[in-house]
Structure 1
Amino acid sequence: MSPLDAPERRNSDLDAALAEARALYAKARPASAEAHQAAQAVMPGGSTRSVLFWTPFPISMARGEGARLWDADGLEYRDFLGEYTAGLFGHSEGSILAAAQAAMARGINLAAAGRDEAAFAGLVCARFPAIERVRFTNSGTEANIMALATARAFTGRTDMMVARGAYHGGVLTFAKERSPVNLPVPTRFMDYNDPEGAAAAIRAAGDALAAVLVEPMLGSGGCIPASREFLAALREACAETGAVLIFDEVMTSRHGPGGMQGRHGITPDMTTLGKYIAGGFNVGAFGGRADIMDVFNGHRANALPHAGTFNNNVWSMAAGRVALGEIFTGEAAEALFARGETLRARLNAACAEAGLPMQFTGAGSMMTVHFRAGAITAPYTATPEEEQRRELFFLDMLAAGIYVARRGMISLSLPLSDADLDALVEAVREFLAARGQVLR
């Protein structure tokens, strides 16, 4: 057989394997299919959140408890998605729920300052030394929007710089350099993990550049950690040019007592937070140096406005006090980081033993599967075959009772047991053994 025939054979095998996995998925979930069909009558595509849409139809989850999920068809899953890092505490952490319920029992929409927001803010400022002052929002997306607005107001400049392939929220998404949903902010680009190139781009932008916005580890971009050299180069170039350096730690702040900035020992001018910090309730936060954040100081003339009906909603503020103040302590953050490092090493060892081009990148409790060999240090455009293998992995994990992101992301939650982690490793080993032919 000609070597040119081999790729065609393998692609045919991959197509067949994927078609079979899709059929089994659909057959096992008639209730989810019915729910999706009904939803299409009132929502475009039957969905209101793009990351939770996939074909032939998305799963409809009925309930969750601890680190378990049950779908509309009664199928049970170990939850290894953890609501894309927001579900750090699982689905039913008793003290968080009790705090939120007690707050709501005292009144929901008070239209006034509450007793919990300053305490929650104090916990955030104590946790992240780079945050001297903080304000709350309703999501990480809003936090990044407001951080950019803050930087533009503080510097009097217009432009922002982001990494190609980065994601900073629904209206700040850069898988492509131009997106019609993005905010109309003048945007410049750098390559992730390219210290020299990024520093040169910052210096070239000069006094037009208000802010550099970067994740210390790409989240939706594939759980690709930044090198310390890259972040240090950004820090130096921003200090030199006067641009505000913003670390988007909406996801990565879970990776230690002081987030990834603490692990690297690099202090940004501003930091954005969200996801888990209010115990799974809706929240975002942006903060930084006092002189920057004081553009919102209402005791000063011409203070910048920052509206938001639910910025200080009583349930998130109360839950945040318990989540950060009592449960996810610095020690708990370190333990979770170490646990994730060990798990990723086990998964990569299984891939290496199988001799297949599959690996997990990440840091601590966040990781993503990739179907290529060699070091992965920057976002990339997956080949059609890589996308097929990623979908096959997703479907096979579901068949094994393990829920991960459709894009292959895994995010650990605190309630996951050692037995759960063992089950994931075993499922990956079985996937490697069963699908080896189509992974080569």
Structure 2
Amino acid sequence: MLTLMDLDAAVTSARASFVAAHPEAATWSDRARRVQPGGNTRSVLHVDPFPIRVDRAEGKHLWDLDGHRYVDLLGNYTAGLLGHSPEPVLAAARAALESGWSLGAVHENEVRLAELIVERFPSLDQVRFTNSGTEANMMALAVATHHTGRRKVVVFRNGYHGGVLTFGAEPSPVTVPHDWVLCDFNDLDSVSAAFAEHGVEIAAVLVEPMQGSGGCIPGTPAFLAGLRSLCDDHGALLVFDEVMTSRFSTGGAQQLLGVQPDMTTLGKYLAGGLTFGAFGGRADVMANFDPAAGGTLAHAGTFNNNVASMAAGVAALTEVLSPELLDEVHARGERLRVRLNEAFAAAGLPMCATGVGSLMNVHGTAGPVGTAADLADQDDRLRELFYFHCLANGYYIARRGLIALSIEITDDDIDQFLDVVGSFGTDD
């Protein structure tokens, strides 16, 4: 049985076992470090001593170069909601590529996809496409500051809105230099104080309905509704970053919450797993991009309407992601999170899982977790051991504890994974 006194030795042993089982990954990681700083080009994939190196993927499975097969419970950090290579999406992307893939022109599928997305999200009168959620959030803030004529943007500690929009206690060194006002997530008083001090200068509040990268910490309904009221009272725009949370229902987290933002940013799975981002909102705000309406803003991007992503998005939304299917995977995730917490409690482990629906994060603390401050004293060794335990038993999750279910995951997969969870600490 694992005890807290044994954690350092257990981590050392788990790393050694991982290295011994992954010689090909070690070789490729050595090669990668010679030509890529950190051995990768996406920092979240960094893992000590090195990550697994995937050879191929199909359905719900990944195979690595060392011959191990994993049930993929990470779903490319939420982008892989549809699993690997869903046939309707693959067929649509192939057909689009066969007709030419670097057109430098507008085409039909971008209109079809825009119509589908506007139909799904009532807060969107109009939408524009980008290559990522990062770009979507940057463009949303650009139009928000332009539309309001203000410069300050309220964001939240522990928030993540893309590679150059990252916040801990302070903005990351790579974060773009907006005039940020940092507040505490799920603390409406801190936002009220910010508006009391800066109200006439605040252009927008940018918020995740659930802080995703920050540990799957849901915003409370009262907090998010309170942000809506504060923005209304002070003439600021409320921007929901639903790059992750739009999977919670056909109309995203905002539909479940009954809170309608002025702008919404999207990304990840909505193009079936291909490169994608989008931002949109009220017609009067989006008119800033419309020359016929007097708009003066430009929005560039060579691949914003790339044929593969547009075709894949149309297929995903018309042939795969029905409301019933989204409800099913959401409910499956709710059941898993409850059972994970029951398993940790039954084993006497100071661990918990937070999240909503098919997105959740395992933490090295018994909780409760309502803000980033509640994670300050968690034992990260427990998360590392849990990660290696899952890998050794054929389940792929994020090193930080993130789990993002795809539609390929079944109740049987969940039951078998919970058996693996139940053995954590008994054989590590």
Deviations 1:293-316 (A, max 9, x none): 110012233520000000000000
Residues 1:25 and 2:18 aligned together: yes
* Equivalent residue, structure 2, for 1:83: 76
Q: Which range is displaced more, 162-171 or 352-361?
A: 352-361
Q: Distance in 2 between matches of 1:28 and 1:136?
A: 42
Aligned partner of residue 116 in structure 1, secondary structure: helix
Q: Distance in 2 between matches of 1:434 and 1:126?
A: 50
* Equivalent residue, structure 1, for 2:163: 170
* Equivalent residue, structure 2, for 1:271: 264
Residues 1:369 and 2:362 aligned together: yes
Q: Which range is displaced more, 134-143 or 378-387?
A: 378-387
Q: How does 1:194-343 map to 2 (within 5 A)?
A: 194-343=187-336
Amino acid aligned to 2:406: S
Residues 1:139 and 2:132 aligned together: yes
Q: Distance in 2 between matches of 1:302 and 1:290?
A: 12
Q: Distance in 2 between matches of 1:383 and 1:363?
A: 21
Q: Distance in 2 between matches of 1:23 and 1:159?
A: 49
Q: Which range is displaced more, 396-405 or 420-429?
A: 420-429
Please tell me the root mean square deviation across aligned C-alpha atoms, in Å.
1.5
Q: Which range is displaced more, 215-224 or 41-50?
A: 41-50
* Equivalent residue, structure 2, for 1:398: 391
Amino acid aligned to 2:307: V
Amino acid aligned to 2:359: M
Question: Does the C-alpha gap of structure 1 residues 384 and 71 become closer, same or farther in structure 2, counting only changes over 3 Å?
Answer: farther
Listed as ranges, the gaps of 5+ residues in structure 1 are 1-8, 436-440
Deviations 1:181-234 (A, max 9, x none): 010111001111112222332332212111100000010110011100000110
Q: TM-score, normalised by structure 2?
A: 0.97
Question: Does the C-alpha gap of structure 1 residues 121 and 219 become closer, same or farther in structure 2, counting only changes over 3 Å?
Answer: same
Amino acid aligned to 2:192: A
Amino acid aligned to 1:159: K
Contact 2:332/2:411 (8 A) holds in 1: no
Amino acid aligned to 1:335: E
Percent sequence identity over aligned pairs: 52
Contact 2:157/2:183 (8 A) holds in 1: yes
Shift of 1:381: 7.4
| Alignment partner of 1:353 out of 346, 350, 368 | 346
Question: Does the C-alpha gap of structure 1 residues 308 and 379 become closer, same or farther in structure 2, counting only changes over 3 Å?
Answer: same
Q: Distance in 1 between matches of 2:140 and 2:66?
A: 42
Between Structure 1 and Structure 2, how many residues are aligned?
427
Residues 1:191 and 2:184 aligned together: yes
Q: Distance in 1 between matches of 2:34 and 2:377?
A: 31
Q: Which range is displaced more, 301-310 or 91-100?
A: 301-310
Aligned partner of residue 361 in structure 1, secondary structure: strand
Q: TM-score, normalised by structure 1?
A: 0.94
Q: Which range is displaced more, 243-252 or 347-356?
A: 347-356
Q: Distance in 1 between matches of 2:11 and 2:227?
A: 42
